[in-house]
């Protein structure tokens, strides 16, 4: 028996424009298989194994995405641990270990990233069984990926002496190498890619963290002692957690511990860290293209082309990445796909909306899609899940018109309560308290037309909210 710890706090900047700050890659379906998002599939591949409910560590801003994807996939978890800000994998795992031991138990933890692709799940589970033997004996196990080529984008683990029941002592961790050094690592047969996956007993990890980085552990303990809990989430105290060093678990513990051990994993692993990695996992057509969506490719070879909203046609292309979304198009050389992060940095520096979110924005009650936007107006398509509702709120700078397309809407506008059905509409004046709910059993779809001098999402004053956003 073990407890999965799913680290779901990354931003996936190298997969822009599909991955955005408000909806990063772990919550997307990226590998061409209709089996759920990367986060959902990470949990699904553990279902045939005996394990306790998972601990999920995620960003505070993504809490409702995590909860909704768990609900849709019918996957249970313990209370979701919410980081108020990103502090890398060392503090994130410390939070999970502290929560796992809070009731006096001391489970084996299997730490997984939420966005990895595993092709051979049976080989993955066999490696887990080997690692669990060592973890139960007090070792801190990491999984090393059997390299398939001289990769310069990964860190490496230098394997030491073989140990009984499988695995190797860790001779050294190596940073991302030069091309020449990567070739030497591959030829030696003594190096594995560093996967960022681990298995160890919670108390052993905490003891090693206390020995090597007591400052991180101390800050995490205080942050957890002052955390606020509700039925679904554990909100880690921000002020104390901010004192943690931004440090990976490798730097904080694994490079220093004498209890480390690496178990090889040859399971078609890919961290899907770039668009070229997405091309790698296929499927491919006869010209080695990976094409998704409405795409016509003529004399096109070794390309990744994704269309999400309209027809994309290519002629005479080779080794290119073309990603079309509703509000942005990326065209890049496949061999330069790591440099997409430079585009993201530029968008962030210029405070562009395309850095933060898609036109389609997920909310705990459903989602909305921006259809059109001008200087003093904005049109949205809003979808409210059955039984859900928007907060009781008002706007100081805009009025709204709601037109029901399908489903049933329960509307509160000032002192008036209305039930609206298909083709009916209502008007929400500026400065009037209002709310919208779906009392039906099918999604409520409506068109919202906003008009006013300011249309930003921060023009919301909430008075009642079932999702705990009154302070937002």
pLDDT tens for 137-178 read 999 999 999 999 998 889 999 999 999 889 999 999 999 999
Among the candidates 210, 241, 270, a domain finishes at: 270
Check whether residue 382 and residue 456 sit in a common domain: yes
From the number of C-beta atoms within 10 Å of its C-beta (0-12, 13-18, 19+), residue 410 rates as middle
From the number of C-beta atoms within 10 Å of its C-beta (0-12, 13-18, 19+), residue 262 rates as buried
Q: Is position 83 within any domain?
A: yes
Can you give the pLDDT at residue 76? 73
Q: Is position 350 within any domain?
A: no
Check whether residue 261 and residue 292 sit in a common domain: no
Q: How many domains does the chain have?
A: 3
DSSP H helical ranges for 281-405: 340-349, 353-356
Check whether residue 315 and residue 262 sit in a common domain: no
SS3 at position 269: strand
457: closest CA among 347, 365, 378, 342? 378
Query: The CATH number of the domain where 436 resides is what?
Result: 2.60.120.10
Neighbours of 230 (CB within 10 A): 10
Check whether residue 210 and residue 285 sit in a common domain: no
Can you give the pLDDT at residue 357? 87
Question: Within 13 A of 11's CA, how many CA atoms are on the CB side?
Answer: 18
Decide the pairing of beta strands 290-292 and 304-307: parallel
Check whether residue 247 and residue 382 sit in a common domain: no
Check whether residue 224 and residue 117 sit in a common domain: yes
Helices (H) and strands (E) in the chain — how many of each? 12, 30
Check whether residue 161 and residue 242 sit in a common domain: yes
Phi (first) and psi of residue 433, to 5 degrees: -65, 140
Can you give the pLDDT at residue 33? 61
Domain housing 215? 3-270
Q: Is position 107 within any domain?
A: yes
Identify the H or E element spanning 299.
Answer: none
Can you give the pLDDT at residue 417? 96
Q: Give strand ranges (E) for 385-442.
A: 392-394, 398-406, 409-413, 416-420, 425-428, 434-437
From the number of C-beta atoms within 10 Å of its C-beta (0-12, 13-18, 19+), residue 344 rates as buried
> How far apart are alpha carbons 149 and 145 in whole angstroms?
11
Which parts of the chain sit beneath pLDDT 50?
A: 472
Can you give the pLDDT at residue 317? 97
Check whether residue 321 and residue 367 sit in a common domain: no
Q: Is position 120 within any domain?
A: yes
End-to-end CA gap in the chain: 39
Can you give the pLDDT at residue 360? 85
> How far apart are alpha carbons 403 and 126 in whole angstroms?
55
DSSP bridge partners of 383: 367, 445
Question: Within 13 A of 383's CA, how many CA atoms are on the CB side?
Answer: 11
Q: Is position 347 within any domain?
A: no
Q: Is position 352 within any domain?
A: no
Check whether residue 323 and residue 441 sit in a common domain: no
Q: Is position 325 within any domain?
A: yes
Check whether residue 128 and residue 214 sit in a common domain: yes
The one-character DSSP state at 353 is H
Check whether residue 286 and residue 374 sit in a common domain: no
Read off the pTM. 0.88
Check whether residue 60 and residue 196 sit in a common domain: yes
């Amino acid at each position: 028996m073990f407890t999965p710890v799913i680290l779901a706090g990354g931003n996936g900047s190298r997969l822009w424009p599909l991955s955005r700050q408000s909806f990063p890659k772990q919550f997307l379906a990226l590998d061409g298989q209709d089996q759920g998002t990367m986060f959902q599939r990470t949990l699904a591949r553990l279902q045939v194994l005996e394990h306790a409910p998972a601990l999920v560590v995620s960003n505070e801003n993504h809490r409702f995405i995590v909860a909704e994807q768990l609900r849709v996939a019918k996957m249970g978890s313990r209370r979701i641990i919410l980081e108020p800000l990103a502090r890398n994998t060392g503090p994130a795992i410390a939070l999970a270990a502290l929560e796992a031991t809070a009731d006096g138990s001391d489970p084996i933890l299997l730490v997984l990233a939420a966005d990895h692709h595993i092709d051979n799940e049976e080989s993955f589970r066999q490696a887990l069984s080997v690692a669990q033997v060592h973890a139960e004996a007090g070792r801190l196990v990491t999984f090393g990926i059997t390299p398939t080529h001289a990769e310069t984008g990964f860190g490496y683990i230098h394997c030491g002496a073989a140990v009984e029941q499988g695995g190797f002592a860790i001779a050294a961790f190596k940073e991302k190498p030069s091309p020449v050094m990567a070739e030497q690592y591959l030829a030696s047969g003594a190096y594995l890619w560093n996967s960022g996956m681990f298995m160890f007993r919670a108390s052993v990890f905490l003891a090693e963290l206390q020995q090597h980085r007591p400052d991180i552990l101390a800050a995490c303990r205080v942050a957890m002692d002052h955390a606020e809990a509700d039925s679904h989430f554990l909100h880690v105290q921000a002020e104390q957690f901010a004192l943690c060093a931004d440090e990976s678990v490798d730097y904080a513990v694994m490079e220093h511990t004498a209890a480390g051990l690496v178990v090889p994993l040859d399971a078609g692993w890919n961290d899907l860290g770039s668009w070229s990695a997405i091309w790698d996992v296929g499927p491919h057509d006869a010209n080695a293209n990976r094409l998704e969506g409405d795409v016509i490719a003529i004399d096109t070879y070794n390309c990744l082309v994704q269309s999400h909203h309209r027809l994309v046609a290519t002629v005479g292309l080779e080794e290119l990445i073309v990603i079309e979304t509703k509000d942005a198009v990326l065209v890049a050389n496949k061999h330069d796909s790591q440099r997409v992060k430079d585009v993201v940095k530029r968008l962030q520096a210029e405070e562009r909306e395309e850095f933060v979110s898609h036109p389609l924005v997920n909310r705990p009650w459903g989602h909305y899609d921006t259809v059109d936007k001008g200087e003093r107006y904005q049109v949205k398509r809003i979808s409210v899940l059955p039984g859900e509702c928007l907060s009781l709120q008002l706007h100081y700078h805009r009025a709204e018109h709601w037109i029901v397309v399908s489903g049933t809407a329960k509307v509160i506008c000032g002192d008036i309560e209305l039930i609206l059905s298909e083709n009916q509409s209502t008007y929400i004046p500026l400065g009037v308290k209002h709310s919208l709910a779906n009392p039906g059993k099918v999604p409520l779809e409506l068109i919202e037309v906003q008009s006013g001098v300011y249309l930003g999402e921060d023009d919301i004053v909430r008075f009642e909210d079932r999702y705990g956003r009154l302070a937002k």
